[in-house]
Homo-oligomer: A and B are copies of this chain.
Amino acid sequence: MKDLRLLQEQDIHQLIEQKKIAELKDYLIRLNPVDLAELMEELDQPSALLVLRILPRELGVEAFAYMEVDKQKRLASLITDAELKSILEELYFDDMIDLLEEMPAEFVADVLKNAPFERRELINEFLKYPEDSAGSIMTIEYVDLKVDMTVAEAIDHIREAGMTKETVYTCYVTSDFNELVGIVSLRKLVTVDREKTIGQIMDKEIITVGTLDDQEDVVEVFKKYDFLAVPVVDGELHLTGIVTVDDIMEVIEEEATEDFQKMAAIAPTEEEYLDAGVLTLAKNRLPWLLVLMISGTFTAAIIRGYEDVLAQVAILSTFVPMLMDTGGNAGSQSSTLIIRGIAIGEIKLKDIFKVMKKETAIAIICGLILAVVNFFRLVLIENADSSVAFVVSATLVFTVLMAKLIGGALPLAAKKLHADPAIMAGPLLTTIVDVGSLIIYFIFATRFLNLHG
């Protein structure tokens, strides 16, 4: 892939230092807005500000829109309120909302005061949509057609609206009361007779999402239908905005990242690792570490309860870590697959019996093979007593079975209880499996080695 920017970054720094503004501008206007955004993110604040002010207004705003919100915010703090407001006015609506959400309340109030009534109402409405709802990720930049327009009129309308984003490729047909009555693609507009009316060519079978729908449900719709955009309607089926595919890609990544965090016992955050402060990162990690450490009380109590057994056959304690780790690994294999299956919509609650059947069969296969390998390793290589090897191997079989059944069931149980499968099943699983494997181990040891616990 071509990357013009890289070739010129050094030059740009030099030009800024030497204050060769005209030459700098010549360079900059040849860059892609995305690359300009990256450049401004990397430059120190005064240089970034210089670049923003040198750029032609439209290109500058576009580049600004591509910057990360927290970097926008930092740059915004350097410019005058008047400058910032004129940038805000030219940003796409969804980009503006994202930035406004990060600004101090007084600034937002000020923007609202000076905005035309309708825009003010809209901003207000958007700022109130719940996080992770379709409303919070939608944009209001879309092409609005009427049933009695001709195709030629519609194309004129699109030209006048002057949209530059992909949002133009599906046009939305609304009634006088803003009800969504049809959609028509730009492809269709281009290829049909220009005298036909929109009513004649529009598609009336429309898939919509609700403003309050969870963004994960919106992702499902995009995946199922391969859409570029989907219309968002309120309770009375009025068109309130559209969600576009580029935002959906971000949602898909965000949701996966959140699941990774939850399963690794971290409080989920949208902040990127390198941008987040040490205290924030520590705060996200500490609670689960504390909870899981204190739940270690259970394992300690079990071992204390069987101290006599360990004292009689000291070698038993050397296998505790291996047994616990194998149980943990076997369980997290199962829970990870099920959690991911639930997340991408493949596994549903009704599949619980299929899952349990599969996990049982897999556990028996894996457990038996592990046990046989372990038995011969202990007896032949480590010269262990065969009865001890038998106890360890039998524990392996039952630990793997227990771990896989709990690992498979816990995420589905969490879903049933409307809890988060990733949180419930990830961090908690290890503790439960640890306790279970120790109990199995000591029961088998007591029984088969004729010890008294």
Binding site for B on A (CB under 8 A): 1-2, 4, 30, 32, 34, 155, 158-159, 162-164, 166, 168-169, 186-187, 189-191, 205-210, 213, 217, 221-226, 228, 245-246, 248-250, 252-253, 256-257, 259-261, 263-266, 272-274, 278-279, 281-282, 285-286, 288-290, 292-294, 296-297, 299-301, 303-304, 307, 310-311, 314-315, 317-322, 324-326, 328-330, 332-333, 335-341, 344, 346-347, 351, 354-355, 358, 361-362, 365-366, 369-370, 373-374, 377, 396, 400, 427, 430-431, 434, 438
Task: Indicate if the CB atoms of A344 and B1 lie closer than 8 Å.
Answer: no
Closest Cβ of chain B: how far from A299's Cβ, in Å? 4
Task: Indicate if the CB atoms of A166 and B228 lie closer than 8 Å.
Answer: yes
CA distance A286 to B361 in the complex (A): 13
Q: Which residues of B contact A186 (CB under 8 A)?
A: 169, 186-187, 190
Known: A266-B333, A321-B300. A228 touches B245 (CB 8 A): yes
CA distance A50 to B297 in the complex (A): 62
Partner of A338, one of B208, B245, B273: B273
Task: Indicate if the CB atoms of B338 and A322 lie closer than 8 Å.
Answer: no
Task: Indicate if the CB atoms of B264 and A337 lie closer than 8 Å.
Answer: yes
Closest Cβ of chain B: how far from A234's Cβ, in Å? 14
Closest Cβ of chain B: how far from A116's Cβ, in Å? 26
Partner of A321, one of B272, B324, B374: B324
Task: Indicate if the CB atoms of B365 and A274 lie closer than 8 Å.
Answer: no
Closest Cβ of chain B: how far from A8's Cβ, in Å? 13
Task: Indicate if the CB atoms of A285 and B333 lie closer than 8 Å.
Answer: yes
Closest Cβ of chain B: how far from A439's Cβ, in Å? 12
Q: Which residues of B contact A266 (CB under 8 A)?
A: 333, 336-337
Known: A321-B434, A333-B266, A438-B321. A228 touches B225 (CB 8 A): no
Number of copies: 2
Q: Which residues of B contact A190 (CB under 8 A)?
A: 155, 158-159, 186, 189-190
Known: A2-B207, A217-B1, A354-B274. A329 touches B228 (CB 8 A): no
Task: Indicate if the CB atoms of A208 and B322 lie closer than 8 Å.
Answer: no
Q: Which residues of B contact A293 (CB under 8 A)?
A: 322, 325-326, 370, 373-374, 396
CB-based nearest B residue for A220: B1
CA distance A104 to B136 in the complex (A): 48
Known: A207-B2, A373-B293. A274 touches B351 (CB 8 A): yes
Closest Cβ of chain B: how far from A433's Cβ, in Å? 10
Closest Cβ of chain B: how far from A107's Cβ, in Å? 27
Q: Which residues of B contact A281 (CB under 8 A)?
A: 358, 362
CB-based nearest B residue for A257: B340
Task: Indicate if the CB atoms of A213 and B272 lie closer than 8 Å.
Answer: no
Instruction: Give the 4 A-B CB pairs with smallest separation, nearest first.
Output: A296-B322, A264-B336, A299-B321, A256-B256
Chosen A-B contacts, 20 in total, with CB atoms closer than 8 Å, are A1-B210, A34-B226, A159-B191, A169-B228, A223-B249, A245-B246, A257-B344, A260-B336, A266-B336, A272-B346, A273-B338, A281-B362, A290-B373, A293-B322, A293-B396, A296-B321, A300-B318, A307-B314, A320-B320, A325-B430
Q: Which residues of B contact A252 (CB under 8 A)?
A: 249, 252-253, 256
CA distance A332 to B325 in the complex (A): 14
Q: Which residues of B contact A324 (CB under 8 A)?
A: 321, 324-325
Task: Indicate if the CB atoms of A205 and B32 lie closer than 8 Å.
Answer: yes
Task: Indicate if the CB atoms of A329 and B273 lie closer than 8 Å.
Answer: no
A226-B246, A259-B260 provided; 11 other pairs, C-beta below 8 A?
A2-B206, A158-B191, A168-B187, A169-B228, A186-B186, A261-B340, A293-B370, A296-B322, A299-B321, A303-B317, A303-B320
Closest Cβ of chain B: how far from A293's Cβ, in Å? 5
